[in-house]
Amino acid sequence: MYYGIDMGGSKIELAVFDAQLTRLWQKRVPTPRDDYTTLLAALVALVQEADAVVGGGRVGIGVPGLIKADGTLFSANVPAASGRRVQDDLARLLERGVRIDNDANCFALSEAWDDEFRAYPSVLGLILGTGVGGGLVFNGKVFSGRNGVAGEVGHVRLPVDARAILGDVPPVACGCGQIDCIEGYLSGRGFERLYALAGGQTLTAPAIMARYRAGEAAAVAHFTRYADLLAACLGNLLTLLDPHLVVIGGGLSNVDELYPALAARLPAHLLPGCVPPRIEKARYGDAGGARGAACLNLLD
């Protein structure tokens, strides 16, 4: 059996899969964010409960943050785990091997291992959620790069044409220390912020889209600008990476209007003669993180 653990800032999910990635068992518990011993105990208890149900399995874990070369984790969302060797410590307590990767990489891996999507040799997973994340999968395997940051598309800076689309909008300081990373504009929070700056109201993304569908002029103009901005930023990524498939996850992936809007706009941001890749909504939603973590042990 294959255990996939999705360790998020608010919850930990463990799901058990067979070799065909059929989910057999699943449980979620709150994440102990501030005490490392309690966090490890929660992870161990979940694995032990899964063992009692299915008799044992190989463990993979997706974590929010950067896994450094020395094995320590940097995670703003789970402070207790920052600076800790989660993989080594969990393996020691469980007395079995543990594989670990960034949660966005696990998302991309889960989608790339979809029965239909396996036909694509290169997949870019793009998460438009609270932040902007990404992962790269080549021939069914995650490509993490030298420093483990390959696919961290949220921290690519705004391209020149994107800044022109935005107009007179104040720059955004990013948590990474840079200014004008695309995360500050393309994330759900960025989507809401741009609407507030243009319309003077603070609304959630679903509320803004409800106004868009009702034909509110401010919401229509806002969505048009956001689609232009997303196409400009994604066009740069596609020119660099040229993937065969892009899968979009996160809350904004549920905005169905984005997909035809991107199809209409992307060609203008690509080199002449280039055809945009297939762009799809994520197939596995919230379950993708645990599923991708389980996939880490199917890579052998």
| Total count of domains within the chain | 2
At 208, the pLDDT band (50, 70, 90 cuts) reads: very high
What distances in angstroms separate CA 102 from CA 48, 91, 197, 268, one per listed residue? 23, 17, 33, 32
Do 131 and 80 share a domain, yes or no?
A: no
Q: Give Cβ neighbours of residue 72 (< 8 Å, ≥ 6 apart).
A: 82, 83, 84, 85
Query: For residue 299, is pLDDT > 90?
Result: no
Beta pairing partners, 27: 14
Which 3 state secondary structure label does DSSP give 254? Answer: helix
Beta pairing partners, 15: 4, 26
Do 237 and 145 share a domain, yes or no?
A: yes
- Rounded Cα–Cα distance for residues 172 and 194 (Å): 11
CATH number at residue 84: 3.30.420.40
67-108: per-residue pLDDT in tens?
Answer: 988 999 988 789 999 999 999 999 999 999 999 999 999 999
Do 123 and 186 share a domain, yes or no?
A: yes
Q: Is residue 113 part of a domain?
A: no
Do 249 and 291 share a domain, yes or no?
A: no
- Rounded Cα–Cα distance for residues 229 and 133 (Å): 16
- Rounded Cα–Cα distance for residues 62 and 231 (Å): 29
Strands 132-138 and 141-142: antiparallel
CB 38 within 8 A of CB 32: yes
At 27, the pLDDT band (50, 70, 90 cuts) reads: very high
Do 76 and 189 share a domain, yes or no?
A: no
130-157: per-residue pLDDT in tens?
Answer: 889 999 999 999 999 988 889 999 999 9
217-252: per-residue pLDDT in tens?
Answer: 999 999 999 999 999 999 999 999 999 999 999 999
- Residue 239 belongs to what domain range? 119-281
Q: Is residue 114 part of a domain?
A: no
Q: Is residue 266 part of a domain?
A: yes
Q: Give Cβ neighbours of residue 38 (< 8 Å, ≥ 6 apart).
A: 32, 80
- Residue 117 Rama label (left phi>0; alpha psi -120 to 50; beta): alpha
Which 3 state secondary structure label does DSSP give 255? Answer: coil
- Rounded Cα–Cα distance for residues 96 and 61 (Å): 13
What distances in angstroms separate CA 50 from CA 31, 58, 95, 258, 282, one per listed residue? 17, 11, 15, 39, 27
